[in-house]
Chain A
Amino acid sequence: MGETTVNVTVNGRSCEAVVEARLTLADFLRETCHLTGTHLGCEHGVCGACTVLVDGAAVRSCLMFAVQAGGTEVTTIEGIAAPDGELSTVQAAFRDCHGLQCGYCTPGFIVSVTAFLEDNPSPTDQEIREALSGNLCRCTGYQGILNAVHQVTGAARGEEPA
C-alpha cells in the first residue's frame, strides 16, 4: 500500500528509491541512503536530533515524509564538513568549547546552528538561546553549546576566541 518513487538530492548526490509513503525523511536518510549521522531521538518533533536542511532551511526530518522531499536538496550532518573532512567553523567551535558529550544530539545542533547563523550571522545572546530552544541536549547543560555559538559569531566579528 502506498509505494511511491522518490528522488532526493542528498549532499549533492541523487538518491532515488521506491518507498512507502509513510517512510519519514529521517528513516529514508538513515535506511535508504545509509546516512546514519542523522539521529532519531523522539520521532515526534520534540528533540531536534534529526534536524537536516531541506533546500537550505532547517527542518525536523522526523516530521516530514520522504515523498514530501521529492525534488528537494537535502543536506545532512555528513554534508556539513568540507569534502576533505575539514570541520566547518560551527563543528570546530563545538569541539573547541566542549559543546558535546555523548554526541547523540550533536548532528541536530550543528545543522540547526549552521542554518541559524546563515540567516543571522551576528545574533544577540537572547536570539541564540531562542534558536537553540528547539534542540534538546541531556549532557552538556547547554553552556558549552552557547559558548560554541558565541565563538563562531565572535570570530565572524574578528574577536579572539574566549
Chain B
Amino acid sequence: MKPAPFEYHAPTTIADAAGLLADLGDGAKVLAGGQSLIPMLALRLAVFDHLVDVGRIAELHGIERRGDALWVGAGTTEAAVGASVEVASSVPLLAKATPFVGHFQIRNRGTLGGSIAHADPAAEYPAVALALDASMDVVSSRGSRTIAARDFFDGLWSTSMETDELLAGVSFPIWGGRCGFAVEEFARRYGDFALAGVAVAIELDGDDRVRRSALGLIGMGSTPERAVTTEAQLAGQPVTEVDAEEVGRSAVAGLEAVPSDLHGSADYRRQLGAAMVARAWRTASAEARHG
C-alpha cells in the first residue's frame, strides 16, 4: 500500500509546470489534489517516474466572470467551488453537483481541474462540464489551446489532452433566462461513486416551451454521456406536456457501454439512470417554471 518511488517536482508557475511536462515526457504525471491519483499510486495501479505537483501554482486558483462564462481555475478545490457565491448564482448546476463529489474531507483537497482531467465517467464535474458545453483551457510549452467538452472526454479515464499539456482552467457558460437545474444520483453510500446519476439543465421560453435542455449522464458509459437525441426531441415542447418518465427512458435508450459489475448489472443501471433522469427533470423543470 505504498507508492513506488518517484521524483517530486513543485513548480510555482504554469510556464514552469509546462516546461517540466515537456522535458519529462511520458514518465511524468500531474499531481493536483491527489484524491484519485494517490490511491492509484498506493495500490500500484499506476507508477510514474516523476510527479509534477501543481498545488503551489497560484495562477491555477480562482473563480471569475469572463464575459458570458464563469472561469474556474483548475487548481480550485471542490470545497472552494462549493462555498462560492459566484458559482451558486452563475452556474447553479456546478454548485448542485459539488456535495455529491466524494466526502467533505476529499473536497478539501480535490480540485475541479483534477476531477475533469481524471475523466472518471462516474464523476460529477465531467458530466456537468459536458452538459453545459464548458471549454477547457489547456497549456503546454508549445502554446495554449481551448478544447470543447464534447471533444475532451475520449475514453475511460482518458482525455484529448497530450501528456505534455496541463489543464489550466474551465469556462462554464452562464445560462440566463428561465432556467432550472438539478443533479440526482444513486450511490450505495452517500459520497461514494454513483451507480447512476444525471445533471440536468433546462431553459424555458416565455410560453413554457423548452428552449434548450442538457442531460449529462453520470456513470452510464466509458465517458460522461450526453443524451443529445433526447435533448433534440425536447426542444420546442411545452414543458407541461413532457412526461418525465419518458424523458428518462429516452435518455438511456441509446447507451451502448453501460457498466456492469458486482454492484449492479447494466440493465439495473439503465433503469436506475432512467429514474434519476426523470427525478432530475421534474425538479429542474419545476425550478425553471416557478423560479
Contact = CB atoms under 8 A, between A and B. Distances in A.
A22 B105 contact: no
Contacts of B103: 48, 133-134
Contacts, number: 91
Contacts of B108: 54, 57-59
Interface residues of A, number: 31
Contacts of B35: 45, 60, 63
Given A22-B2, A133-B189, A58 B104 contact: yes
B104 A67 contact: no
A68 B51 CA distance: 11
A63 B34 CA distance: 6
A20 B2 CA distance: 12
Contacts of B189: 133
B202 to A, nearest CB: 26
B5 A1 contact: yes
A21 B8 contact: yes
A129 B5 contact: no
Interface of A is mostly: mixed
Nearest to B79: A57
Interface residues of B, number: 32
A88 interface: no
Nearest to B103: A134
B43 interface: yes
A7 B6 CA distance: 20
Most buried by A among B5, B7, B105, B109: B105
Interface string B22-42: 000000000100110011011
Interface of B: 1-8, 10, 31, 34-35, 38-39, 41-43, 51, 53, 55, 79, 99, 102-106, 108-109, 189-191
18 contacts: A1-B5, A2-B5, A21-B6, A22-B4, A22-B41, A24-B38, A44-B1, A45-B106, A57-B79, A58-B108, A63-B38, A65-B38, A68-B31, A68-B55, A112-B105, A130-B191, A134-B104, A134-B191
